[in-house]
Structure 1
């Protein structure tokens, strides 16, 4: 009986995850306390790598459970404390509220989003132009909104497209009363159509995700760490944009060129075309909805459009925290479209809450990184260099550390260290300004290499859409690779070639004379 109970507990452990995966997690849990007693620093890095492993295996088992078990053990054996984990959660409360409320708010605008993007998809026949449209749209939106919000929009749109296909493929297709000839080809869907359609949607999702990075690096609201850096440097919205532009504008241009080349030459699984059968389904579905849309439906679309305008204005002018604006979107979009039952509203939160829980675990891992001072040796080493070498090393160090941990954490740690160096007189104000640009671009650009580098990528990987499109951790890394190489190299070259000239121009224009009284040493010019 005891043996049977043990087997039952083991079988229940992590559910349907592969046997080798269960044994790997148990192995991690067994060896971590021993590593910690011998070398806490090494144990910290082991935990980080193990957590990345759980993210990489997200399609085998959702990372919340194995990652959560590793973190609980880490707290128990003293790698970090509950207070420090709570501190990290409090510091990142805006990001958590954003996920809970903004993603749910986008859910209530899905009719409008699907309407707009279906028109775009059916009118724009060229895959190349469509890919560029998705990349540019995501970049522009991310510059004024937040990358997570934009990815939530894209996930909603892609899920809508996939569900249209799935309804037809599973035999639940709609029929026009007047026209049956249009529906005849709908029955000829093949397995290849499904694979091609998945590839097509994967392409658009990845282009748009990269777009969020291209636009998110440009402004102080694009990513959470941008806001932290802007506050430390005492820069406003315009100054932040201009200071970043010597790096961000060339990167944006080369990012778009990369999109064109990947699609044109069908590299790294890009260039997948929308199958004609599926295009016919989407065209037909679009016409079907247009025909049956009532005045009440049009009123809903109009309300959602007005709410979308409020969303852009509210976020663009920073009238409140992003999550609170998301809450207003939920209230407005539901109140004026007749969604007033609790169970209807509950569906909107299903997508975001598992990821929110995972993100809190992630902040716990960040607490381990802080307590065990895993990044301190790298920071100390980089600060021993000077001039352009120092800037390039800051850019690369931020990029590499962001790939393995989180760009928000890395950016905030580095800007705090550089701010302390400025206060102590170790660096001048113009050095500080250039290092701030190197830190911001370093955390935002090379971090596209892995899903854990950017929260928006991680959100997509752990969304319900990823398994539908067969978008695994490895697939995301592979498809992001050409962008990672181009963005990292162009960013590094721009940091090396352009930053000194831009800083001198700023001082010549007396743009930031008002800052020198506020922050440390006077400029050396």
Structure 2
């Protein structure tokens, strides 16, 4: 019997360190006691515990330990299975996006690798390359979903890494190879590999920050943008104009930060592409181009056409993002000869674990709602007035978005402000200003942690993170200069720029005043 118990202890959370297993067990034992003493405290402890599982993602994928904590929360009554289902249903579009869009990007990897390889091998300046990654991500995220943009970046980074790792392991490009293992790595390539990891880490992080810079600007950039715009009766152009007094200075400051951290090699940035690896990538590009058959060229053309459809379909909202992703899968496989079931299955391997983790995350969000964890902060902020109220809304949304989901935080706050407007506690112009503070507050400071934005969490738990040694702590550290700059510039914009610039746009007729109290009822 003792052997069985010992074996069960060894099987629990697999190869995770013993200390990590003991901490998770301690969490599971202490939560019922805390919930019996004070449910509010127990709720906040659960949030911290879940963040811990995210921070230790390289020790153990967060789905298992986080899932155990979430199940325990439901059993204890911190929330209910019904409420979890409601949260999952409310975010069904995000789940569809993860399942189908990420898989769709998988079938476009040939075009992505072909295009980005040419970019990387021809652009010698690391600062210019970093700025390009940041700007392209910002532009795409303004019109597409940030998760889609990150999925593209991950696909490109994995492609680069696998090309070099195969050569560094002494194998040809046609040979089978596991790029997640360094066991076969040739000794003379190990130093270059570490520098290559640092190079790719910086590009991936610049792209991630870029997705936040662009995502805050438009109605379609982030899910909470759409929710806030619906409540405020803002259309696409009006949303862009109302956000501009804050988002334009933030975008400029973000791009300057990108240049500075690369120039001075701070916070984990500045690593350049080793010449030996540039040669390998160049040779790979030349070899692929030389061996490209008419069939291969036809595949690239088809993928390019599908890429245009992807951008047009998402920018014009022709269907839900996930459904457009499904159409990409169908087009990309039907017209490139991929018809076997097992070939299709590989595309879903990356997204499904994260989709499951996101459902666990929604359970934690349900706990936050049922235990009213944000209520004290909300009540405190609503008691303030004028510019102070704008600043506090921005700061409160920013802080809560760092530890929770920015979509949830934005939804809670816009509903509270809408209620205050309906009860006559604030004016319609103040409501519009607060809506801007809420949107920028949920989008900008949330870059501080991977759990702040779904795209960052996806990056942390993706296949590229362990390859590049991109841990939770590394992401927080590399995001720190951006966090400080974006948060500070955003706050200054909200306090000093927002009201005067909004009044000026109203005077010039760029914006039209809204009928007092005209707010869409809550869903």
TM-score range, shorter chain: over 0.9
The CA distance in 1 between the partners of 2:245 and 2:457, in whole Å, is: 28
Change (3 A) 1:471 1:227: same
| Residue 345 (structure 2) aligns with | 346
| Residue 277 (structure 2) aligns with | 278
Residue 478 in 1 paired to residue 477 in 2? Answer: yes
| Residue 214 (structure 1) aligns with | 213
The CA distance in 1 between the partners of 2:338 and 2:324, in whole Å, is: 19
The CA distance in 2 between the partners of 1:347 and 1:389, in whole Å, is: 52
Deviates more, 1:499-508 or 1:311-320: 499-508
The CA distance in 2 between the partners of 1:48 and 1:253, in whole Å, is: 34
Q: What's the offset of the Cα at 1:501?
A: 1.0
- Preserved contact between residue 506 and residue 513 of structure 2 (Cα < 8 Å): no
| Residue 231 (structure 1) aligns with | 230
The CA distance in 2 between the partners of 1:82 and 1:307, in whole Å, is: 39
| Residue 183 (structure 1) aligns with | none
| Residue 104 (structure 2) aligns with | 105
The CA distance in 2 between the partners of 1:520 and 1:302, in whole Å, is: 46
- Preserved contact between residue 40 and residue 372 of structure 2 (Cα < 8 Å): yes
RMSD of aligned Cα (Å) = 1.5
Deviations 1:95-121 (A, max 9, x none): 000000000000000000001100100
Deviations 1:370-397 (A, max 9, x none): 0000001100100000000100010000
- Preserved contact between residue 429 and residue 520 of structure 1 (Cα < 8 Å): no
Residue 292 in 1 paired to residue 286 in 2? Answer: no
| Residue 170 (structure 1) aligns with | 169
| Residue 454 (structure 2) aligns with | 455
Q: What's the offset of the Cα at 1:504?
A: 1.5
- Preserved contact between residue 428 and residue 517 of structure 2 (Cα < 8 Å): no
Q: What's the offset of the Cα at 1:517?
A: 5.8
| Residue 180 (structure 1) aligns with | none
- Within 5 A, what are the aligned runs for 1:106-255? 106-174=105-173, 189-255=188-254
The CA distance in 1 between the partners of 2:371 and 2:186, in whole Å, is: 59
Residue 315 in 1 paired to residue 338 in 2? Answer: no
Q: What's the offset of the Cα at 1:269?
A: 1.5
The CA distance in 2 between the partners of 1:327 and 1:321, in whole Å, is: 10
Q: What's the offset of the Cα at 1:502?
A: 2.5
Q: What's the offset of the Cα at 1:406?
A: 1.1
- Preserved contact between residue 189 and residue 277 of structure 1 (Cα < 8 Å): no
- Preserved contact between residue 430 and residue 503 of structure 1 (Cα < 8 Å): no
The CA distance in 1 between the partners of 2:512 and 2:453, in whole Å, is: 34
How many residues matched? 510
| Residue 182 (structure 1) aligns with | none
Change (3 A) 1:174 1:36: closer
- Preserved contact between residue 406 and residue 453 of structure 1 (Cα < 8 Å): yes
The CA distance in 1 between the partners of 2:303 and 2:517, in whole Å, is: 44
The CA distance in 2 between the partners of 1:220 and 1:444, in whole Å, is: 12
| Residue 83 (structure 2) aligns with | 84
| Residue 180 (structure 2) aligns with | none
Residue 9 in 1 paired to residue 30 in 2? Answer: no
| Residue 179 (structure 2) aligns with | none
Change (3 A) 1:498 1:207: same
The CA distance in 1 between the partners of 2:187 and 2:124, in whole Å, is: 21
The CA distance in 2 between the partners of 1:84 and 1:323, in whole Å, is: 23
- Preserved contact between residue 422 and residue 517 of structure 2 (Cα < 8 Å): no
| Residue 178 (structure 1) aligns with | none
Deviates more, 1:510-519 or 1:409-418: 510-519
Q: What's the offset of the Cα at 1:520?
A: 6.1
Q: What's the offset of the Cα at 1:190?
A: 2.3
The CA distance in 2 between the partners of 1:513 and 1:166, in whole Å, is: 57
The CA distance in 2 between the partners of 1:391 and 1:174, in whole Å, is: 56
The CA distance in 2 between the partners of 1:519 and 1:101, in whole Å, is: 37
- Preserved contact between residue 452 and residue 458 of structure 1 (Cα < 8 Å): yes
Change (3 A) 1:335 1:174: closer
SS in 2 for 1:273: coil
Q: What's the offset of the Cα at 1:505?
A: 2.6
The CA distance in 1 between the partners of 2:164 and 2:189, in whole Å, is: 12
SS in 2 for 1:190: helix
- Preserved contact between residue 310 and residue 324 of structure 2 (Cα < 8 Å): yes
